[in-house]
Amino acid sequence: MSASKGHHDMRVQWMLFLGVAVFIAILAIVYWFVSYEYAGTTMLALASGLSATFGGFLFIQDHRNPDSTDGPVAAASHHAEGEDPDHYLPTTSWWPLVIGIGMVLGLNGLILSWPYAVPGMAVLMFGIGGFVSDSRRRA
């Protein structure tokens, strides 16, 4: 497919996100002036900001040198050319389960008692450590 088509496609992505951000920003302004209510206005403004963050990220990607492949966002700039063949897609891993067990023990330990929370946090840290080192080794 042609490069111009790919560029057009990239533009669609950030325009969609920024469109949502602008729309919610308008809602926030209208809402403030019809209600003068703080909670909702704050939440709408934050929602708009969140959407603008994604849109802004994709906008910067779009306007960056298209040949650049360094940095953690390399995969994103390759989107229209097909998937990056070097993208690491593991088939198995124990670490998600370990993190899940650590997380549930840690959170429920807050309710039950600290003897659950402490080992839970330890398992969680162990799991995150394993997850990260797994990525480093294989990527």
Partner 1 sequence: MTLIADRPSAHSEDDEPLPRGLLAVLTSTDHKRIGVAYMVTAFFFFIVGGGLAEIIRLQLWTANSPVVSESTYNQVFTMHGSVMLFLFIGPFAFGMANYFVPLQVGARDMAFPRLNAMSYWFYLFGGITMLSGFLSSSGAADFGWTGYAPMSSISRTPGVGVDLWIMALVLVGLSGVLTAVNVLATVISMRARGMTMFRMPIFTWNMTVTSILVLISFPVLTAAAAMLFADRHFGAHVFDIANGGQPIIWQHLFWFFGHPEVYIVVLPYFGVVTEIFPVFSRRPVFGYGGIVLATFAIASLSVGVWAHHMFATGAVTNSYFSGVSMLIAIPTGVKFFNWIGTMWHGQITFTTPMKFSLGFLVTFLIGGISGVLIAAAPIDLAVHDSYFIVAHMHYVLFGGSVFALFAGLYYWFPKISGKMLDKRLGTFHFWMTLVGFHLTFFVQHILGAQGMPRRIASYPLIGNWQLMNRISSVGAFLLGASILPLLWNVWRSLRRGEPAGNDPWDGQTLEWATTSPPPPHNFDEPLPPIHSSRPLWDLKYPEASSGTHS
Which spans of this chain sit near partner 1 (rule: CB under 8 A)? Answer: 1, 5-6, 8-9, 12-13, 16-17, 19-20, 23-24, 27, 30-31, 34-35, 37, 39-40, 43-44, 47, 50-51, 54, 58, 75-76, 78-84, 87, 89-97, 99-101, 103-104, 107-108, 110-112, 131, 134
Task: Give the span between the Cα atoms of 25 and 102, in whole angstroms.
Answer: 39
Closer to partner 1 at the Cβ: 50 or 121? 50
124, 103 contact by CB (below 8 A): yes
CB of 86 to partner 1, least distance (A): 12
The CA radius of gyration of the chain, in Å to the nearest whole number, is 22
Please state, in angstroms and rounded to a whole number, the distance separating the CA atoms of residues 139 and 55. Answer: 27
8 A C-beta contact, residue 98 and residue 122: no
Which lies closer to partner 1 via its Cβ, residue 80 or residue 121? Answer: 80
